Each structure stands twice: as C-alpha cells, then as structure tokens.
A = this chain, B = another copy of it.
Amino acid sequence: MKLTVLGVGSASPQVDKNPSAFLLSIDNEYILIDCGEGTQYRLLENSIKVSRIKTICISHLHGDHYFGLIGLLSSFNLKGRRESITLIGPKGLLEILDIQFAAANTTLNYKLNFILNRNTEGEVLLDRSRFKIESIPLVHRVQSTGFLVTEKEGDRHIQAHKLPENFPIPFYNKLKDGKDVIDPLTKVAYKAAELTKRGTPKKVFAYCSDTAYYPEIVPIAKGANLMYHEATFLNDLEERAEMTQHSTALQAARIAKASEVKKLLLGHLSSRYKSSDEHISEAKESFENVEMAIEGAVYDII
C-alpha cells in the first residue's frame, strides 16, 4: 500500500498548497480520500491513471475536502468511463452532486454506488477482497469522518522449488489459501505450512482530518502503520483549535503515540504558518517518527 499526497492545504487557498486529496494504491487499484478543488488536475500532473480509481471517500462537506469531486466525476463521464465508482460520504453529498448533474443535463455512463456514512461509530463501510475501509468518527463543526484503510494479508507465497513438476493448478490455489492438498490418485499429501510462506502482512492507514483533539480515535487506529492527522495549529493556539474544532501538532502527536502507530504524517496547516518546522519540533515532543506530508510525495506504508 502506498500513499500519494495530492493536496495538504487547509481552507484558505494558498498559492503553494492544494486542498486536501490523498491517493492510496493497493495493487493496481486506487482509493481517493478527499477531493479538494483542482484534484483532477493534480491527478493529471502526477500522471495517475484515473481509471484505476474505484473508490472515493469524502470526510466531510467543507469545501477544501470535496469541491473537486463534481469536476472529477464529470470528467470521468466525458472520458467515457463505464466502470462503477463507489463513493463513501456524508448525508447531503449525493444531493449536491445530483443537482449539478441535472443542471448540465448529464446522465452518468457509469454507476455511482453511494455508501452513506452516518458517522455513528467505527464501522466497516466497504469490505473488498484486498482491503476494507472502516470509519473513524471525528469531531468537527460539521459531521466529519476519518477512514481506516486495511490492506488485507496477501495470499501465501508458494515455494515452487519444493513442488513436483506439473503440479496441478487447482492444488496450487488451495495451497495459496493455506489449505492442505491430498492427490486423489497418488494419495500424496501436500502440506500448506511446509510448501508456502505467509503472504504480505496486512497494512493499515488511518486518515484523521478534520478533527478536534479526540482520543476516541485511539482504539480504532491502534497499531496503524501510518497515520495522517491534521495539525492546523501550534499548541499556543490550543484554544483557537478547540473553538474551530481543529487540532494542534502536539495533539496530533499525542493521538499517534497513544495509538502506537508506526509513523505520523501531519498536514492541513493554517495558512498563517509559512514554515512547518515548528509543527514538527512540537510534535516530536510526544512522538518521534513524524514528518510533514509533502504534496507530490509517495509514501510506502510499511
């Protein structure tokens, strides 16, 4: 699982930042998390094959997290997309899209499967063969939901050199699933535990934006390989963070520490900060393995 950062700005537009947009790739499939204005142009600039985006998750209905969605979905249609899209988002999102499609006389060529996220508790929103997406209820001025994306443990790896030549394919697949096989003709038993190795272990990414300091995140995100947490302010503006229901760098680090995640990425800094140095040093007071999320960068989730 890899994370490509497309936009890490906050609500006030800035000339050197883009609003929130993050692309997770799992094998050859993409999950887009948030879609601020201009995201479709960021995808183009990063030469990302948009046909591989199968799932889009929208955290909340503040514009810097979703104003680019209608443009992206409209462009999918213009380009002749046929493959369905699963869209996970809060109440109201579908109506906002529909009124705009109707105004343009647009009929989608593809199916838009909408999954309504009620944000009541951490729950499985989508369960696919290679990954699942669970909600992380957050606290913000409007309903806001983080996403816990788990890349499931991969198939077991066959130790081909330990198998006879012309080993039948159906036996192969059983072994990959971890099941033992007995050849009905020869009665020879093939043991999965001996002939295969464990597949790629599961990986977990926790996306937490936008939110006030909210320790309820901790049990849900426990042990994640990578956490992205908003850090709009520094801790001297803790009161302002609480008032606007955002977090400080120190608060984000405390959540990461308590969650025992492997690595923390910060973003969504208020436009008042010209450098992110202080956010990093403040966060390191509580959690060492922290970096600023950089637009255009790709992070291996390990």
- CB within 8 Å of B: which residues of A? 11-15, 37-38, 40-41, 44-45, 61-63, 67-68, 70-71, 74-75, 78-79, 92-93, 95-96, 99-100, 102-105, 141-142
Q: Is the CB of A100 within 8 A of B63?
A: yes
Task: Say how far A68's CB is from chain B's closest CB, in angstroms.
Answer: 7
Kindly list chain B residues whose C-beta atoms are within 8 Å of the C-beta of A103: 61, 92-93, 96, 142
What separation, in Å, do the CA atoms of A207 and B104 have in the docked complex? 20
Known: A95-B99, A100-B96, A103-B61. A75 touches B142 (CB 8 A): no
Q: Is the CB of B105 within 8 A of A142?
A: yes
What separation, in Å, do the CA atoms of A96 and B63 have in the docked complex? 13
Kindly list chain B residues whose C-beta atoms are within 8 Å of the C-beta of A44: 13-15
Kindly list chain B residues whose C-beta atoms are within 8 Å of the C-beta of A142: 103-105
A38 is contacted by which of B11, B41, B95 (Cβ under 8 Å)?
B41
Known: A37-B37, A37-B68, A104-B61. A75 touches B12 (CB 8 A): yes
Kindly list chain B residues whose C-beta atoms are within 8 Å of the C-beta of A68: 37
Kindly list chain B residues whose C-beta atoms are within 8 Å of the C-beta of A96: 99-100, 103
Kindly list chain B residues whose C-beta atoms are within 8 Å of the C-beta of A93: 103
Q: Is the CB of A63 within 8 A of B74?
A: yes
What separation, in Å, do the CA atoms of A54 and B100 have in the docked complex? 25
Task: Say how far A13's CB is from chain B's closest CB, in angstroms.
Answer: 5
**Chain B: which residue is nearest A44 at the CB level?**
B15
- Could you give 7 example pairs across A and B, Cβ below 8 Å? A11-B75, A12-B75, A13-B44, A37-B68, A61-B100, A63-B104, A104-B142
What separation, in Å, do the CA atoms of A44 and B71 have in the docked complex? 20
What separation, in Å, do the CA atoms of A13 and B76 have in the docked complex? 10
**Chain B: which residue is nearest A11 at the CB level?**
B78
What separation, in Å, do the CA atoms of A96 and B61 have in the docked complex? 14
Kindly list chain B residues whose C-beta atoms are within 8 Å of the C-beta of A78: 11-12
Kindly list chain B residues whose C-beta atoms are within 8 Å of the C-beta of A70: 63, 67
A45 is contacted by which of B11, B15, B100 (Cβ under 8 Å)?
B15
**Chain B: which residue is nearest A15 at the CB level?**
B44
